[in-house]
Amino acid sequence: MKIRFTPEQEAFRAGCASWLQQQMEGPFADIRGIMSQTFRADRRLEWERVLGQARWSVIGWPEKYGGRDASLAEQVIFAEEYARSGAPGRVGHLGTELAGPTILHFGNDLQRERFLLPIAKGEEFWCQGYSEPNAGSDLSNVRTRARLEHGPNGPEWVIDGQKIWTSLAQFADWCFVVCRTEEGTKGPAGISYLLVPMKQKGVTVKPIRQITGDAEFNEVFFDGVRTKAEYCVGKPGEGWKVAMGTLAFERGVSTLAQQMTFRNELERIVEAAKSNGAASDPLIRQRMAEAWVGLRIMRYSALRMLSRATTGSLGGEALTYKLHWASWRKKLGELAMDVAGAPGELCVGEGYELADLPYLYLFSRADTIYGGTNQIQRSIVAERALGLPKEARGDR
């Protein structure tokens, strides 16, 4: 496990940190430190384009696709400095961190040429069509269906079904959709991975208001929606492998940026505790220390995971990572609310506008649910990492 950086890498750190600081203290100071995923969306989309123009959006990608051919260490450094600068969460992250790497690794030349540069330049944005009302943590239970037809523009997939908890679908130009393309199949068999344009007749997006007041998630309905036959990543009916590869990329370099965001949140809690006197409580101090220790363990675990990572596969470290960080952050949210005290129960502006610590508390309640519940994560660790007998299921 590599935890130190060379002088050349530290020079790279200084360069990207300087650029980020200039942007966050200059033209984009108005979106610095934003926690909400949807606030100031127009400015956030503009920020994505600036990142792309400067080739900071996907630095690990090949130069021909808008990247910098950056090493893994350089990607880690940039991810850390991005979060350290207070830059906002990436509105384009589902393209840069999930769709793009999946197309780069599993796609063909036609798909790479069509999709990668627009993602890198911040010209096209993506959402993830995985979860359904009856297929959340059990993704292989998807019921959205697609059939191949010959249309006026050649062979096309026609998609019918519903997705839910689709983050940032209201801003997306494209969606990578996991759907069933072979009648009579169950479980992972007969599933395909399609790239579907969102700006077309038959696509309906309905925002879901969350307890934070935000509407990051959406329901998405597909009613006779079409996409080209050539926009199937991998072979038809073999999309499960591709879908699992996407989840592997989710445990990639962005985990270090995520941890820097967690560190920023912990620092806000510490500052608030010092300001309002909560830090005088020895139990609060102990919980803040435990949070700091947990964050350091998380970092070393992620570095170990990345030091073994290639592409498209999940090792034992990656299988435990989501369970670890989600449980840790849920406790952090509880600590934030205890530090905020009674004033944290009040809104801070017109309408339903929350201060940072109450927002963190409410949002973190979902961490152990989305992306696979803690219960499902434990089953995954048991079956895939420890080799224990598989849980009994009706389709096995």
Catalytic residues, which ones?
250
Tell me how far apart the alpha carbons of residues 251 and 242 are, in angstroms, rounded to a whole number.
Answer: 15
Among residues 224, 201, 203, the alpha carbon closest in space to that of 151 is found at 224
Tell me how far apart the alpha carbons of residues 131 and 143 are, in angstroms, rounded to a whole number.
Answer: 10
Residue 326 · residue 381 · CB < 8 Å: no
Tell me how far apart the alpha carbons of residues 148 and 352 are, in angstroms, rounded to a whole number.
Answer: 46
- H-state helical runs in the chain: 7-25, 41-53, 72-84, 93, 100-106, 109-120, 239-250, 254-276, 282-308, 316-340, 356-364, 374-380
Element (H, E) at 207: strand 203-208
Q: Which residues pair with 146 in a beta bridge?
A: 159
Tell me how far apart the alpha carbons of residues 210 and 249 are, in angstroms, rounded to a whole number.
Answer: 27
Token pair belonging to 2 = 């590599």
Residue type, 136: G
Tell me how far apart the alpha carbons of residues 74 and 16 are, in angstroms, rounded to a whole number.
Answer: 10
